[in-house]
Every structure is written in structure tokens, then in C-alpha cells.
Amino acid sequence: MSIVEVKVPDIGDFKEVEIIELMIKVGDTIKVDQSLITVESDKASMEIPSSAAGVVKEIKVKVGDKVAEGSLLLLLEADGAAAGAGTASTPAAPAAAAPAAAAPAPAAAAPAPAAAPAAASGPVEVKVPDIGDFKEVEVIEVMVKVGDTIKVDQSLLTVESDKASMEIPSSHAGVVKEVKVKLGDKVAMGTVVLVVEATGGAASAPAAAAPAAAPAAASAPAAAPAAAPAPAAAAAPAVSQGSVETSKLAHASPSIRKFARELGVDLGKVPGSGQKGRITQLDVQNFVKGVMAGTTAAPAGAAAPAGASGGGNFNVLAWPSLDFSKFGETELLPLSRIKKISGPNLHRNWVQIPHVTQFDDADITDLEAFRVETNNANAKNKDAAKLTMLAFVIKASVAALKKFPTFNASLDANGENLILKKYYNIGFAADTPNGLVVPVVKNADQKSVSQIAREMTELSLQAREGKLKPTDMQGATFTISSLGGIGGTHFTPIVNAPEVAILGLSKASIKPVWDGKAFQPRLMMGTSLSYDHRVVDGAMGARFSVYLSEVLGDMRKILL
């Protein structure tokens, strides 16, 4: 018997990758090439195999650690031939691990076959770049469709070998004209993935060859609608470490693993509905929904702090199961994909955030007159943006957020600290045929009302056409939901976590307002400010609402 050090083998160009899963524990008997840990970059996840066989005596790493080639993983009490091989390989771990072609890190030495001259335009074939030693890998996810506008390095599909899954980026920008592959197809370097009508240059050779490119767009406008960023990933290590035996069997892509970790979900407990039992994003969301409704057991160790990411089983009654057809004629109408994604997030936000809603009326008589006058003056100027009331409200909200910075913040993962944000990104709810999405006007404090109005018009058009990118719907610090074009007086908007407040706008109407001497007809707009009572108390909420109404009544106040 001898003690052998098992180290990370050659994993290609990746310098440091995060451990997301431990698959063994002290006392386990392991074999050569048995998977020990799962590591993940921003584009690929891979399992690291053992270079020796024996009994695990000590584990030197934990979930969340960063490792690279040569990092010590564990100490093994090896025996027989395995011990000799393992011992010999200790000084040169990469050489010992060479037979295990598990390291999916593709070398970026060879230029991608799909690369074209920088000035390329017209139909271009996008091919699979150099993916290392893998000869044929299976397509398990297609992330684009005909008609999509894609960028260089945008993820097109996810492929998987027996040891790793990775996302294949695009070497060209343009509009997708034809998708050449489907789920289950086998692809290799040089396989044509799709045909694009190119609008710009190709990616450089190294970029095309490395699966670790830009963040994945995946099939998740999850960051979209009310699908605001999920609870902080701080809960992930506890879940991963406490569920080694089950989570190691999970069949999911890197983007789905990351999504699950952000929600604190043990993938080993999530049934997969995809091809070969693969876990999809919808599977994870349905699992979370089941836990929240009390119909699914919560993952062991997944209980997050009662702070920003708190949650769990509320032990509510099971949803009633009825055969409605016995009462009359029915029709089954499937929910849109956006509603399926946003529903669990809305439910989580409603039950986990202690909501308070402040109702008020803002006098926008003078502001509306100014808006109409300005639009009329700019009617003949084709380049002038059409000013909307919502654009003015966004500008006024930024002024209120600066005066009351607590509203432009988020609770940290432990619920013990407030993260004050020094940037002002305002999300606005946009209604589309498929459901509600929330595009974000970035750095609204640095833009004029005209610029905000123009950007809102562009984002709204993209939303209706289903062309919003995930980045267009991320990073909001405050959200506004306007029903002014529909009707109603006030309503209770749901806070879009991890934000701490949301403003609702209702239809403006003429009301009699006492000016000290007589009633005057004024155009009043109902405002509904919902906020997280853990962060904002009632007095602060009232002051914010009053100040916002004052600014809308006289926009000159923001100049002071």
C-alpha cells in the first residue's frame, strides 16, 4: 500500500476553473478513470477522472475552489499495479491523465474551419470549431432558430461527450437562414451547423476555437420577464456538498447547472424531461414550483438564509385537482413559454418578499401639456423621438432613487447587508403577444428624456418581435409597470427580486383638486409603489412616493 497524490490533469487552455461538484468522499474505493469532481468554465463543464485506483484517504478541495492543471485533488491509498502507475504519475499528473481524454478543454491552436475574411458578407456556413480530441459529440440543445440575429461568439448549440458538455459559439454575425443540425445529431470539427446571412466579420481563429467564449444566451429568456436574477448562488455549495450521491447523476448542460445552483436546487432530485432524461430549464423551474407549493420535497441542505435568498416549503395546501369538464365545456390552452418561465419567479417573489404598497396620485397636468406641445413641435422632424409619459417617469424615478438610495439596492445573500448600487438601470414592463417581458434602460441617469424615449421604442419593438437578448433584460435596479394605456386607478405590482421596489402607473384622469381657494380640474395619475418591507419602512416608502409625485408635478425640481 502507498499514498498517491491525485492531481488535475492537462485541461487545455483553461487556467482556473471552478469546482461545482464533488463525486467522492473519504473512504470511497475508486477506479482508474472514475470521475472525481466536476469543474466548469463559463462555457463548458467537465468531469476530472482519477489517475489511480484505491481508497480515498483525504480530499484536498471543496465546492467553489478554483483549480488548474497540477492542482492537488486528493490523497489515495493505492494498491498493486494501480499504485505504481499512480505513484509514477504523481510528479507529472498531466502525463498520467493523458489516457483519460476527459479534459474537454479544446486547444485553440488551429484556426476554426468556419473562419472567413473579416469583410465577409452574404450567406456563410458556420461550422463546428476545433473541439480538441473529441471525434463526434452529440447535439443536446439548439439555441437558435431561423430568423434569429446572432453575434460573433454567441452560443449556438450545446454538445456533449461521455465526460463533458460544452457550448459551441458562432464564428460569424448575421441572420440565421438555415439550421443544419437537430437534437441527437453527431457533430465534429468542421460540421456545418447553420447558414447565416453575414453582416460583419468573422471571429478570430483563437476565439472561434475556444468553447469558453461569451456568456451563454442558452434557451433562457429566463433572465427575462419577471425572471429577474435568481437568488444568490451562495447557497449552491451547501446543496452540492450535501448531495454528492444524487447530484453526480444529473444530466444537464453548463447553463442549466449554473441556473440550478443560483436557485439552490440539487439537480440529482430533478427529473429530466429532455432527450435521454436530460434536465431542462423548465424541469428546474417546475421542481422549484413544486417545492414552493409543498408538493415536492425540498432538497436537503437547500434551505437558504431568511434574507435575500430565503425560501423553502411553506406547507400550503396542495393545488385542488378537479375535472372541470363535468361542469361544462372546456378547452386546454397551453401557457406561453414566457409565462411558464416567469410564473415560478413571480410566485417566489410574492411569497418570500413582505410586500407593502404605497398608493398616491401625481398631478401631471403641466407635464402632460409640455409633452404634447413638444411632440407637436417635433412632428415634422423625423429624427426626433416621440416623448412618452413613461420616459418622463423614468427620469423622475432616477431623481427619487438618488434622493432615497435605499430603493436602488439589494439585500445580500445572508440578508444582513444592503448592497447600494451606484448605477441606475430602469426596467419597464412591456406587453407582448407571448406575455410580459422587462427590457432595461441602462444608465438612465446619463440619458435625456428624448434618449430614454428612443431607447424604449427600440426595446419595445424588439420585445414584440421576440428579438430581445438576455442582456437587454438584465441588471435592472428598479422597475416600472405601466397600465396607463389600459385603465384602472391603482394596483399592486410584485417586486422583481433582487430589486427592492417597483412602481406601478395607472391611467390618468381629470379630478377636482383643492388649491386652497377652490377646486381646480387637474390631470391626476395613480401611482402604486410596492417595496420590500425588510429594506424599506413605511415612512421611507411614503417619502419616496411623495417626492416622486412632486417631481412629476414640476420636473424643474430635478435640476436643483
Tell me the backbone φ, ψ of residue 158, rounded to 5 degrees: -110, 135
Q: Output the CA–CA distances (angstroms, integers) from residue 117 to 125, 171, 279, in the order listed.
A: 13, 11, 39
Dist. CA 47–CA 33, nearest whole Å: 10
Element spanning 389, H or E: helix 389-403
DSSP single-letter state for residue 321: -
77, 27 Cβ separation under 8 angstroms: no
Coil, strand or helix: which one is 179? strand
Q: Which of 387, 384, 439, 402 is nearest to 551 (CA)?
A: 402
Cell (9 digits) for 179 = 439550421
- Given the residues 347, 355, 490, 533, select the one marked as catalytic: 533
Coil, strand or helix: which one is 107? coil
481, 429 Cβ separation under 8 angstroms: yes
Q: Which of 523, 515, 505 is nearest to 365 (CA)?
A: 523
Dist. CA 357–CA 300, nearest whole Å: 35
3-state secondary structure 126-163: EECCCCCCCCCEEEEEECCCCCCEECCCCEEEEEECCC
Q: Which of 47, 60, 59, 52 is nearest to 21 (CA)?
A: 47
Dist. CA 99–CA 86, nearest whole Å: 13
Active site residue 490: no
DSSP single-letter state for residue 121: -
Total number of residues shown for the chain: 560
User: Is the alpha carbon torsion for 264, 270, 274, 276 positive or negative?
Assistant: positive
The 54-59 sheet, strands edge to edge: 2-7, 72-78, 54-59, 29-30
| Residues with catalytic function | 533
